[in-house]
Structure 1
Amino acid sequence: MENDLRQSLLSTARIYGDLTDCALSTVSRRVKNNASFFSGIADPSKSFTARTYDEVMRWFADNWPAGAQVPLDLMKWMVAAEYNRGAAA
């Protein structure tokens, strides 16, 4: 399960980076104020919590470029989390 969540985070981050013309390190800095955050996520020897996953996916949902297609993994998270843009976490 953690590997699925890891791939979901990395895929969503890469798509966001492509849409905003940003390097993955820039996306990392925007999301977690840590330029190596997604490098750490990509390392299978390191783990992360479900809370971190939810925080990052919420950031993407809140900051997804207007008019851009939302990736399936993010859409699934939004449905599962009953995401409502602008609502408190």
Structure 2
Amino acid sequence: MEKALASNLLQLASAYGAATSLSDSTIGRLCAADGRFFSRIRDGATFTVKKYDEVIAWFSRQWPEGAEWPADVPRPVIIPEAAE
């Protein structure tokens, strides 16, 4: 399962980078506060489910207009925060 989740994150980073011309390190800093986040995943590093959820939610909220979300990566439904 972890390999599938890692694959999802790497696919999103690749597609997002292609759509925005941002590097993996910049995307990692933006979505995970870690410029080496994606290179570590490629090297086999693990991550928590919480971090996965945070990163995939970030991608969903920040996804570029007109860019196609990878078809085999489930996209989370982001519920807007309630106005106070």
Could you state the TM-score of these two structures normalised by the residue count of structure 1?
0.80
Paired residue for 1:18?
A: 18
Question: Take 2:67 and 2:9, find their aligned partners in 1: how far apart are those partners?
Answer: 18
Paired residue for 2:35?
A: 35
Paired residue for 1:69?
A: 68
Cα-to-partner distance string for 1:44-85 (whole Å, 9 max, x where unaligned):
2x21111111110000000001122222244x232xxxx135
**Identity score, percent:** 39
* RMSD between aligned residues: 1.7
Question: Take 1:86 and 1:18, find their aligned partners in 2: how far apart are those partners?
Answer: 27
Tell me which amino acid in the other structure corresponds to 1:77.
R
Question: Take 2:49 and 2:42, find their aligned partners in 1: how far apart are those partners?
Answer: 16
Q: Would you say the 8 A contact 1:17–1:24 is kept in 2?
A: yes
Q: Would you say the 8 A contact 1:16–1:64 is kept in 2?
A: yes
Runs of 4+ in 1 over 6 A off after TM superposition: none
Paired residue for 1:84?
A: 78
Tell me which amino acid in the other structure corresponds to 2:60.
A
Count of aligned pairs: 82
* Cα shift at 1:6: 0.5
Question: Take 2:56 and 2:2, find their aligned partners in 1: how far apart are those partners?
Answer: 15
Cα-to-partner distance string for 1:7-33 (whole Å, 9 max, x where unaligned):
110111111001000111111111122
Could you state the TM-score of these two structures normalised by the residue count of structure 2?
0.85
Consecutive unaligned residues in structure 2, runs of 5 or more: none
Task: Compare the two structures and name the one with the higher helix fraction.
Answer: 1
Q: Would you say the 8 A contact 1:28–1:37 is kept in 2?
A: yes
